[in-house]
């Protein structure tokens, strides 16, 4: 998996410190190594199993952004989507910037980020689509839920894996 983890621990009264850098997603390894170092230098031996201590905290962090919905399984009943052009357009978010919904080979595609990474949207239920997340922050299948305006076109879209802190709502740019 991609990522990096860093931790710094200082004991100023002992003029002692440690910096641990890893080239792996945060698993608690850097934190456990630093705590073991401090235990060894302070007490002469490890005071606890630091890896076991940190594991549940980092496992919980790894679950952030994961959907509570299993998009790999069809819903019990599903309504068809609106025509593609109801969703196509440019959407804006102050935190994430622009998101573009376009059609490529008859499939809705979401383009996001400074590199305009493209994600194919798969219909799930009515105005809910799912897509496979990617990169070092991948969390598996996630959803994109459109809200339809009075004109029959999507007024906004919430990108589920970007919304864990309430920042994943994108509003359609008028005229786009």
Domains in the chain, please, with CATH?
A: 5-63 (no CATH), 84-172 (2.40.128.600)
> In a structure prediction context, what are the per-residue pLDDT tens digits for the chain, which is 176 residues long?
457 889 999 999 999 999 999 987 788 999 999 999 999 999 999 999 999 999 998 887 777 667 888 999 989 888 999 999 999 999 999 999 999 999 999 999 999 988 899 999 999 999 999 999 987 667 889 999 999 999 999 999 999 999 988 999 999 998 77
What does the pLDDT read at residue 167? Answer: 94
Long-range contacts of 9-16 (CB under 8 A, 24+ apart): 9/34, 9/35, 9/37, 9/38, 11/38, 11/42, 14/41, 14/42, 16/41
Backbone angles phi, psi at 62, to 5 degrees: -65, -25
State the number of CA atoms in the 13 A half-sphere of 115 facing the CB.
4
For the question of whether the overall pTM of this predicted structure is more than 0.85, the answer is no
* CB neighbours of residue 100 within 10 Å: 17
- Stretch (H or E) spanning 31: helix 29-43
What does the pLDDT read at residue 32? Answer: 94
What does the pLDDT read at residue 97? Answer: 95
Residues 77 and 58: their CA atoms lie apart, in Å, by 36
What does the pLDDT read at residue 132? Answer: 95
Residues 125 and 63: their CA atoms lie apart, in Å, by 24
What does the pLDDT read at residue 1? Answer: 46
């Amino acid at each position: 998996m991609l990522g990096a983890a860093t931790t710094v621990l200082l004991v100023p009264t002992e003029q002692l410190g440690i910096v641990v850098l890893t080239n792996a997603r945060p698993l608690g390894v850097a934190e456990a190594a630093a705590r073991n170092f401090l235990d060894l230098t302070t007490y002469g031996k490890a005071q606890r199993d630091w890896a076991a201590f940190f594991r549940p905290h980092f496992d919980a962090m790894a679950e952030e952004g994961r959907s509570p919905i299993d998009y790999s399984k069809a819903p019990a009943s599903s309504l068809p989507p609106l025509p593609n052009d109801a969703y196509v357009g440019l959407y804006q978010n102050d935190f994430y910037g622009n998101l573009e919904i376009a059609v490529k080979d008859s499939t809705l595609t979401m383009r996001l980020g400074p590199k305009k990474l493209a994600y194919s949207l798969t219909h799930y239920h009515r105005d809910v689509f799912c897509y496979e997340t990617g990169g070092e922050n991948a969390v598996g299948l996630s959803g994109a839920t459109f809200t339809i305006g009075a004109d029959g076109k999507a007024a906004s879209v919430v990108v589920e894996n970007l919304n864990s802190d309430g920042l994943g709502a994108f509003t359609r740019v008028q005229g786009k």
